[in-house]
Amino acid sequence: MPRIRLLMCPEKRRSLMLGCHGNNASTSIRVLSSLRPNMLPVGRSKISKRMVQNLAENICKQVAHFNKGEVECLIREFHVLLEEPTNPARPIRGLDRWKFRGFLHHTFGLTDDTIMDGVFRTFDKDNDSFVSVYEWIEGLSVVLRGTLDEKIKYCFHVYDLNADKYISREEMLQMLRYSLRLPGEEDPYDGIKDLVEITLKRMDRDHDDRLSLDDFAMSVKEVNHVLEAFGTCIPNATRIETFEQRVFQTGPLDGALVLSPVFSAASVGSIATRWQCD
């Protein structure tokens, strides 16, 4: 196993980290991704720089939309986030649900707990309850720069709360009850039930009373603004630009980490209004 091989001998460990032990890129990524953060130095020493560069090179081969330099910046940003205070009793294997949700809230302005949990589940592809450095960069490539097809799959997975490959009536109700509720307003359950029925009727192309990925994709391609029909899960253009400028242009190790202080209220808007705009 990777962790055991790393402990075998320092020279072999170093060569494996630097990608000199065979040419299997995915093995190198798994090995490096499995390292605990305190095993992967992020300082300016020659060895740590080479390790980050090597990891970036391997990730770059498998993740679209980022060049090697950008992947290096994202690796460093990942480790800056990991170094924030955490529970010392828990082993660190990546960003846990709470750190990841904190990032989504402070940096991307997401506020809906159900949606943020869905984003975490979508990023955490191996379902080990941690977002590894590879999962972090792979997820960001879609969220920040993905194609429409990539974003359709991403949003669908976020909204498929129980991961059964369908968005059910109950899941729509659960997501819209929060996202359409205004501060101080009573639970708009009855109004949202009607809205769910209208939405299901419009998007359920094969009439099986639930949304498959195909149903969702066809609807989004016809009416683009329903991509985030059940809650905001992609940051707006300003948030994306701010994040990219901070991470890619200055680099997280060139200065103190500055998290956006902006806490915007949920701005999902009314699905009913969206339908009326068709």
For residues 160 and 246, which CB has a smaller minimum distance to Ca ion in the complex? Answer: 160
Among 83, 84, 113, 164, binds Ca ion (CB under 5 A): 164
Rg (CA), the chain: 21
Does 162 participate in binding Ca ion (rule CB under 5 A)? yes
Our CB check for Ca ion shows the closer of 109 and 134 to be: 134
Q: Does 38 bind Ca ion (CB under 5 A)?
A: no
- Closest to 203 measured CA to CA, from 275, 143, 146: 275
**Stretches 34-42, 73-81, 153-161, 264-272: which one binds Ca ion (CB under 5 A)?**
153-161
Stretch that binds Ca ion, among 107-115, 127-135, 185-193, 255-263 (CB under 5 A): 127-135
Q: Of 70, 96, 112, 124, which one interacts with Ca ion (CB under 5 A)?
A: 124
For Ca ion (CB under 5 A), the number of binding residues is: 9
- 208 lies in the binding site for Ca ion (CB under 5 A): no
Please count the residues of the chain: 278
- CA-to-CA separations, 206 to 19, 171, 218, in angstroms, rounded: 49, 18, 11
Q: Quote the least distance from Cβ 98 to Ca ion, whole Å.
A: 15
Least distance (Å) between residue 28 CB and Ca ion? 17
Contact 144, 243 (CB under 8 A): yes
Residue 128 in the binding site for Ca ion (CB under 5 A): yes
- Least gap, CB of 34 to Ca ion (angstroms): 11
CB 100, CB 86: distance < 8 Å: no
Q: Interface residues for Ca ion in 167-186 (CB under 5 A)?
A: none
Give me the amino acid identity at 163. A
User: Which stretch in 82-90, 104-112, 160-168, 174-182 sits in contact with Ca ion by CB under 5 A?
Assistant: 160-168
CB of 182 to Ca ion, least distance (A): 27
Residue 243 and residue 235 in contact, taking contact as beta carbons nearer than 8 Å: yes
Local structure of 95: helix, strand or coil: strand
Listed residue (177, 121, 129, 156) closest to 228, CA to CA: 156
CB of 187 to Ca ion, least distance (A): 22
- 131 phi and psi, to 5 degrees? -95, 110
Candidates 83, 84, 113, 126: give the one binding Ca ion (CB under 5 A): 126
Say how far apart CA 123 and CA 222 lie, in whole Å: 27
Q: How far apart are CA 231 and CA 166, in angstroms?
A: 16
Tell me whether residue 83 or residue 164 sits nearer to Ca ion (CB atom).
164
Residue 215 touching Ca ion (CB under 5 A):
no
- Give the CB-side neighbour count of residue 257, counting CA atoms within 13 A: 14
State how far the Cα of 36 lies from the Cα of 7, in Å rounded to an integer.
Answer: 13
Q: Considering the complex, state which of residue 18 and residue 35 has its C-beta at the smaller distance from Ca ion.
A: 35
Rounded CA separation 257/41 (Å): 17
Binding region for Ca ion (CB under 5 A): 124, 126, 128, 130, 132, 160, 162, 164, 166
